[in-house]
Amino acid sequence: MELKPARILGIETSCDETAASVVENGREILSSVVATQIELHAKYGGVFPEVASRQHVRTIYAVIDEALQRANMSLADIQAVAVTRGPGLAGSLVVGMNAAKGISLARKIPLIGVNHLEGHIYSAWVYPADASNPPPEPQFPQMVLLVSGGHTELNLVKTHLDYQHLGGTLDDAAGEAFDKVARMLNLPYPGGPSVQKAAESGNPHAFSFPRAWMEGTWNFSFSGLKTAVLREVRRLEKTGAALPVANLAASFQEAVVDVLFTKTMSAARAFDVKSILVAGGVSANQALRTALTSQGEFPVHIPPLSLCTDNAAMIAAAGYFHYCSGQQDALDLDVLPTWPLS
Ligand code: KG4
Ligand code: ZN
């Protein structure tokens, strides 16, 4: 693939963030705007699809305008528009897709549908255009751990756009487990950050929760762990004493991080990779970041916190490499609510 100079407008509306971004040459973020709906959904304890879709409609054009303005640009300065095609909520995906189609049609620039998971991977490639010290390029082959609310999987990435799925969760995604455990412990939505916060003052060895190693595979399973936490909570509640929330949160987090870290390291060794890349909402978790950055065996690339959760810079970045590979989607491109990376 021959890389060529290009500014890509990225659009992301797969779940509960309405986002737009301008990225130059696949790595330099000229602007990245994210309008989060967290407060809207908090009262439901999770994302309410109908509400999400309507809110995307309300904000999408303002978010795109803001991204262009912050980049000091107009649509005339953009070479292609990249948009999340899936996986995600159908009603949310179509809002971004339709906005992208309108821009592609009006400006006669390529429309590029991007896989949201692939986007997360490219969040480890981008950096602010004004950064004094651009981070080094992640080297191939890479072991990629994707950990979000909907996915937990290991992929071997041999070069740009070349993904080999090694294994994934057989039940709950890691982020989903964080969200469910947060609810058991009466911690606020979204669960990941609140469990992490509660865990800060807890003892990670207070409870010995199970680890599902799924020996001989690169698969994960978190439902047994989730059930073990629930059983412990029920047992403790019966005693009438206050729940040791911090200790439960810390011990649960330790079990998740232990499995994610250990399996990622084993896979990196088994496939003799040059770097480890971690992305998706759960890559914001401090305990996971510390475990990965303090091992000295492989260079590790984890996006900054602002790019761990859903954003459009990652979509624009992934879109850039598809643009360079010649991808140009038709205006009848449909959204794919379920769409594996490989
Ligand atoms: O990638 P993302 O924004 O959306 C999906 O595509 O799923 O990931 C959201 C998930 C949620 O489950 C959230 O609880 C989790 O990422 N998360 C965290 C942290 N921040 C977000 N999990 C653990 N620790 C965190 N600090
Ligand atoms: Zn995501």
Tell me the pLDDT tens digit for each residue of 212-239.
999 999 999 999 999 999 999 999 999 9
Q: Determine the pLDDT at residue 240.
A: 92
Q: Determine the pLDDT at residue 315.
A: 98
Q: Determine the pLDDT at residue 50.
A: 86
- Contact indicator for 249, 206 with CB cutoff of 8 Å: no
Centre of ligand 2 from the C-alpha of residue 184, in Å = 23
Using the predicted structure, report yes or no on whether residue 8 has a pLDDT greater than 90: yes
Q: Determine the pLDDT at residue 47.
A: 83
- The average pLDDT across 37-41 equals 83
- The average pLDDT across 79-89 equals 98
Centre of ligand 2 from the C-alpha of residue 148, in Å = 6
Using the predicted structure, report yes or no on whether residue 163 has a pLDDT greater than 90: yes
Q: Determine the pLDDT at residue 40.
A: 83
CA nearest ligand 1 atom 1, residue: 281
**Is 281's C-beta closer than 6 angstroms to any atom of ligand 1?**
yes
Mean pLDDT of the chain: 96
- The average pLDDT across 323-329 equals 97
Using the predicted structure, report yes or no on whether residue 96 has a pLDDT greater than 90: yes
**pLDDT above 90: percentage of residues in the chain:** 93
- The average pLDDT across 196-207 equals 98
Say how far apart CA 310 and CA 20 lie, in whole Å.
11
Query: In sequence order, which residues have a C-beta less than 8 Å from that of residue 286 and are 6 or more positions away?
Result: 196
Distances (CA, A) of 269 to 95, 141, 216, 274, 275: 42, 12, 14, 10, 10
Q: Determine the pLDDT at residue 62.
A: 97
Query: In sequence order, which residues have a C-beta less than 8 Å from that of residue 96 and are 6 or more positions away?
Result: 11, 12, 13, 14, 18, 56, 60, 83, 84
- Contact indicator for 1, 325 with CB cutoff of 8 Å: yes
Say how far apart CA 234 and CA 119 lie, in whole Å.
39
Q: Determine the pLDDT at residue 7.
A: 98
Q: Determine the pLDDT at residue 44.
A: 80
Q: Determine the pLDDT at residue 322.
A: 98
Ligand 1 closest atom vs CA 175? 12
Q: Determine the pLDDT at residue 37.
A: 85
- Render pLDDT for 240-297 as a digit per residue (tens, 0 to 9): 989 999 999 999 999 999 999 999 999 999 999 999 999 999 999 999 999 999 999 9
Centre of ligand 2 from the C-alpha of residue 324, in Å = 24
Query: In sequence order, which residues have a C-beta less than 8 Å from that of residue 54 and are 6 or more positions away?
Result: none
Pocket perturbation via mutation, ligand 1, pick of 178, 226, 288, 315 by most ligand atoms within 8 A of CB: 178
Using the predicted structure, report yes or no on whether residue 42 has a pLDDT greater than 90: no
**Is 284's C-beta closer than 6 angstroms to any atom of ligand 1?**
yes
**pLDDT above 70: percentage of residues in the chain:** 100
**Is 303's C-beta closer than 6 angstroms to any atom of ligand 1?**
no
Q: Determine the pLDDT at residue 221.
A: 98
Q: Determine the pLDDT at residue 45.
A: 78
Query: Where residue 189 falls among pLDDT bands split at 50, 70, 90?
Result: confident
Give the tokens for residue 75. Answer: 């649509």
Using the predicted structure, report yes or no on whether residue 38 has a pLDDT greater than 90: no
- Render pLDDT for 103-161 as a digit per residue (tens, 0 to 9): 999 999 999 999 999 999 999 999 999 999 999 999 999 999 999 999 999 999 999 99
Ligand 1 closest atom vs CA 14? 6
Distances (CA, A) of 56 to 45, 93, 280, 334: 19, 9, 21, 18
Ligand nearest to the CA of 249: 1
